[in-house]
Structure 1
């Protein structure tokens, strides 16, 4: 028996399997029920198996056979991949605007200097990045994908773990020298503390008070004093200037440490249960831009 010449028979089977109705499948595929029936019979003949049990009465005249039920998820997954591949092929001939929402400090300190690598890999995508810092409505504002910092659960969104921070003091190399050089946590009494208030209200977010407790610092240090900023990147830039000591986060200070703008005066780090997650709407999971950006971002984050 000759194999079906195209995907029409498989599409007809998938549609009938979802609706358990030739008429509903025909309406979806814009053909006649008779044409759907002919495609199904041809597929069954080629495979030499029954795909449906048929009865003349009952609430549903069609039911899937065990073999059909077992094969259906793989077939549906295959159609999703085919749709994604077609989107990629279309995208290769025209530019697609892809909208991303991301916390401003993460964009400034981690993402933006890496974006060129994504653009080289996917030159047909034009990124539109929102760094407002607020929680956006993905549907109303037509957001394709986002990066959020938190516990990993946001209503109506699928989340994928990216990166987790450790927290530790950071400062300009200049503060490691002079009369009050930083050599032990107790030396913090001689320098202004720079406070990141961008996550005020998030109880799990480390503060100077929690870090000093974690470090076992018994020297009395007033953790209420110092400069308070509601922008993480601004706080780190202030530390780079030599004004004082900030509580750094792994993802935000990685490059500054590597290039010598900041140093870690102490080796004591505090962990945090909060983390960065990639988020998107469930229905966007098979969209080509989301797949492309997710694959690239997980690679950059070292997630396997």
Structure 2
């Protein structure tokens, strides 16, 4: 069965019906309101049916007729099918690979659980993810885009804020409720402290000393315990019951939601460091980089871990 004629007129009617406004429909279709109105009137003349009730107050707020209401769901379903077909045509072209550099713990705990959504939304693009943790030279290594943790300024790169963490104690449920239950900071003396050593070069990165001082326990011995130079490994040690770690909202959110970790007590402390999307200046004019940028910024905005 062939597609109907007058697709432009049908598209104009569908947009006007969805927005109940010629002006909003015109903004979406990048034409003038007069052009939308002309297309709709032409469609009415072709089919011999009125689609909008005319109001003496003018067309600012459109009202659909019963005939228009009856056909609108099928028309919208048809446009949805056309969109799917178009995306499949685009996806049938040669895949484009985007090179991405991400801190290993952020990749493990935040990005990788979400990348399937990017693949679904943008089937043309494949991601090649570097989780080495080193600061990659974007030009020398032909890196397209990255996510970095820090103060937001890196030479030769543009940065866009994504997420900021708060820090608080986390442990396994079994440790919290075990032989030496965790009810307050004073109970930490009975347990191993797990130290994340991955950011020792940043003096503003919160440590157990930072948190205990904020909690009113500045004299507690907080240098003892297990020291690990990888955040994800530190949280895995806490999940295993090896001690109490200082959790970061972005990195422990999924483990808290799944019940693998719990917050036994205490307020969170903030940190001026944050996660940023980075790329070479004006590189987001590239469609692939722009697609990833829009997607990851949307994901970050929707993430309740953003306390910054």
Q: Same fold (TM over 0.5)?
A: yes
Secondary structure class of the residue paired with 1:162: strand
Mapped partners of 1:99, 1:282: distance in 2: 16
Alpha-carbon offset, residue 221 of structure 1: 2.2
Kept in 1: contact 2:180–2:187 (CA 8 A): yes
Change (3 A) 1:303 1:92: farther
Instruction: Kindly tell me the number of residue pairs found equivalent between the two proteins.
Output: 215
Question: What residue number does 1:262 align with?
Answer: 261
TM-score, normalised relative to structure 1: 0.69
> In the alignment, what sits opposite 1:246?
245
Residue 230 of structure 2 aligns with which residue? 231
Give the CA deviation at 1:92.
Answer: 6.0
Partner of 1:298: 297
SS of residue in 2 equivalent to 1:302: helix
Which residue matches 1:183?
A: 183
- Separation in 1, partners of 2:288, 2:179: 55
Q: TM-score, normalised by structure 2?
A: 0.68
1:162–1:303: 8 Å Cα contact kept in structure 2? Answer: no
1:38-71 deviation per Cα after TM superposition (whole angstroms, max 9, x unaligned): xxxxxxxxxxxxxxxxxxxxxxxxxxxxxxxxxx
CA-to-aligned-CA distance 1:234-266 (integer Å, 9 cap, x gap): 000000000100001000000000000000011
Query: Is 1:114 the counterpart of 2:108 in the alignment?
Result: no
Structure 1: which 4+ aligned runs deviate by more than 4 Å? 89-92
Give distance in 1, aligned partners of 2:165 and 2:175: 24
CA contact (8 A) 2:91 2:123 kept: no
Q: 1:152, 1:91 → 2: CA distance?
A: 34
SS of corresponding position for 2:129: strand
Alignment partner, residue 163 of structure 1? 163
Describe the shift of the 1:91–1:139 C-alpha distance in structure 2 as closer, same or farther (beyond 3 A).
farther
1:224 to partner: Cα distance: 1.0
Give the corresponding residue for 2:131. 131
CA distance in 2, matches of 1:291, 1:266: 41
Q: 1:77-136: CA deviations, max 9, x gaps? A: xxxxxxxxxxxx977622001100000000000000100000001111111000000000
- Structure 1, unmatched stretches of 5+, are 1-88
Does the 8 A contact of 2:164 with 2:274 survive in 1? yes
Residue equivalent to 2:285: 286
Listed as ranges, the gaps of 5+ residues in structure 2 are: 1-88, 304-308
Separation in structure 1 between the aligned mates of residue 289 and residue 108 of structure 2, nearest angstrom: 21
Matches of 2:144 and 2:96 in 1, distance apart?
12
1: CA distance, partners of 2:270 / 2:153: 19
Q: 1:158 touches 1:280 (CA, 8 Å); kept in 2?
A: yes
CA RMSD of aligned residues (A): 1.6
CA spacing shift, 1:92–1:290, aligned 2, 3 Å: farther
The aligned residue for residue 79 of structure 2 is: none
1:96 counterpart = 2:96: yes
